Amino acid sequence: MPDENPRRPARTDADAGTAPGGDAIARARAHNDRLLMRALLRAILAGIVIDLLVIAAAATLGGAGALPGALVGSGLALLVTLPTLVSARIARPLPATSSAVVLMGSWLVKMFLLVIALLLLGDAAWLSRPWLGLALLAGALVAAVTEAVGMVRSRARLEVAEHPSEQ
């Protein structure tokens, strides 16, 4: 007996316990792409908001060099978080090994750039290193936690092909 409840979506082959076909896999991938991008964008937005709060605190509470330190730290936090958005978008359609190479490669490049930037700024008398560190840590950690929570709370659909040729 078919389910004729207009409020309930039609059953799909994934609901029936069979392996989904190509169309169902494409829909699941599109859904997962949207979840990933939403989590990444929210993470970057959360990092920017926290860094703006740190910049405001540095401007009002900090002494000499606090505002430049917070601004540079916020910029470095964006250096750490923005490439994640790009690399995740590039790596998403790739096979698992290629995806890992892209993600780990981008992580390596941004950590290299971060270390170089911190070494170059080490002797800068015009900025406060504690405020730089606070802005960098706050922006990067809040973005990472927001991204992780967003991915855990989302319900990614399993992408399984019936036959290896459908992948």
Q: What is the mean pLDDT of residues 135-145?
A: 89
Judge whether 74 and 54 are in contact, CB under 8 Å: yes
Q: For helices 129-153 and 22-61, give the axis angle rounded to 10 degrees.
A: 150
- Give the pLDDT score at 16: 46
CA pair distance 155, 139, nearest whole angstrom? 26
Domain boundaries, the chain: 22-155
Its pTM stands at 0.71
Type of residue numbered 101: V
Task: Express each pLDDT in 105-136 by its tens digit.
Answer: 999 999 999 999 999 998 889 999 999 999 99
3-state DSSP: the chain helix, strand, coil percent, rounded to 5?
70, 0, 30
The 10 Å CB-count burial string (b at 16+, else e) for 44-57 is bebbbebbeebbeb
Token readout for 87 is 């690399």
Instruction: Name the more confident of 40 and 20.
Output: 40
* Best CA proximity match to 110, nearest among 86, 80, 143, 141: 80
